[in-house]
Structures are given as structure tokens and as C-alpha cells.
Amino acid sequence: MVRVDLLGSGNAFLPSGRHHSFTCIDRHMIIDAPPTCLASLRRAGISVADIDTILITHVHGDHVFGFPFILLERKYISDREGLRPLTVAGSSGVKERLVHLCHLAYPGSLDSILETIEWVDIPKVENWSFERFQVLHDPEVDPHGWRLENENGISLLHSGDSGPCEELWSRVGGVDLAIVEMGVPQWVPTEHHHKPADIERLANENQDTTILVTHTFIDADYEIITTQVPDFPSNVIHGDDEMALELLADSILLI
């Protein structure tokens, strides 16, 4: 069994009732570190010290600006003795960008913990294998998605921020759960994000894969743009904050 917690489901503009898009796997691996990540972890009752692996998709602010706060919290609250290892996985520019961000946020305060981080391209986590693949987004932030497979055969992927592209779409049919962003309404002219019609087409082409929509523009509490969730195919789940799923060998359960 694999547990997936959607700790945040909103896009960069924070639709009402949502934290920034943020996923936790088995309560110890996270994908990205958005500005609202500490609030999301606190709300879920997950200790920051229990996070041992961070998979970075790209370095836009709504995906990594919470990283200094993760380190600050570990250093001064949940791992004051510095006993808990932390691995950060991402493309070649991730370390440079995140270290610079920490220096801007807390000059000198995080140097000691930065030196203890294991910076890798692909992490080594017991019972898991990983693939990082390029996606279609702003090339300046080196955008990638992640595919993860557990030794029990359960597999999932995370699109990061991406518009429809072969590198992402060709992998969706081969996983149990695809966590895919839907960052903009249908009328927005961009190729760098999925829109509702893209999600519908992706779901119809991959009916054996459950698609969990995150990074959504749709409001949850009160209307800024819209509170209307599109009428998606049955294999699509439109995500909400604090949604949790159990991935089993033959089913996916909301818990």
C-alpha cells in the first residue's frame, strides 16, 4: 500500500480555500516545497523532521519558496540535534537556486544545515525507484515531472507544472495514479499548463489510470474565478486540500 496526501491543491494565485499545490508520499517524501508548505504539513500532522526526501519539479516561486522555512523549522524546532538526513533531488540548477534562496531569506542562518543536505539528480529511497523527465513549461526553470514506482508494483507520476506534451502523456497510461496540474481556465492562451479540455482528453485516452487534478484554478470556499468543477470522466478526481488516497495493488481508495 502507498499513501498519497494532497496537502495543497491550488495554483500560484491561491484559489479560495486552497494552499499551494503540494504532495506527500508515505508521510516522508514531498514533491516541491511551496510557500504554504509548513502550514500544510502542520495541518496534516506531519513533522518536518520526518521528511527525508524532497523531489523538485522546477524552481518557480509557488513550488520552492517554502524551502528556506523547511530548513529553518528543522534547525530550530523539529531536528535541533541535526540527526535526521535530508535528500533534495532535482535538475542540475536546483541546488544553486535553492541555496541562493536560503541566503536571501536568512543570510548565514541556514549555512550549517545546507551543508548536510544530500543533493542528487535521482534519489535512493528504500523500496522505491524514480524517473525524472522533462515537461513543457517555462524553460528557464528547468521543468520536470517525476515517475515513482514502489517495489510492490504500485506506480504514480507527478506532472509538476506542464502543458500537454509527449514526455508526460506517454507515461500516464503506465501508472496507477497520475497527479496532473490544471493551472488555468480554458480561455487562457498558454501551452504551459493543462486546461479542463486537456484533462478530459488525457483521461479518455487513459481510462485505466486514475488522474488526480492539482494546481487548480477552481475556488473551494468562495468565488474569485469559479467554483464550478468541470464534468470530468469517472477516472478523474478533482483534488482538494487534505485529500488522502491509499494506492493498493488493485484499487485506489479515498481515505
Identify whether the C-beta of residue 57 lies closer than 8 Å to the C-beta of residue 145. Answer: yes
- Look at residues 35, 33, 32, 59 and name the one whose alpha carbon lies nearest to residue 142: 59
pLDDT tens for the 255 residues of the chain, in order: 999 999 999 999 999 999 999 999 999 999 999 999 999 999 999 999 999 999 999 999 999 999 999 999 999 999 999 999 999 999 989 999 999 999 999 999 999 999 999 999 999 999 999 999 999 999 999 999 999 999 999 999 999 999 999 999 999 999 999 999 999 999 999 999 999 999 999 999 999 999 999 999 999 999 999 999 999 999 999 999 999 999 998 899 999
Tell me the three state secondary structure of residue 61. Answer: helix
Q: Which domains does the chain have, with CATH numbers?
A: 2-254 (3.60.15.10)
Burial of residue 51 (CB within 10 Å: 0-12, 13-18, 19+) is buried
Look up the pTM and report it. Answer: 0.97
What's the CA gap between 74 and 68, in Å, rounded? 10
Backbone torsions φ then ψ of 24, nearest 5 degrees:
-125, 135
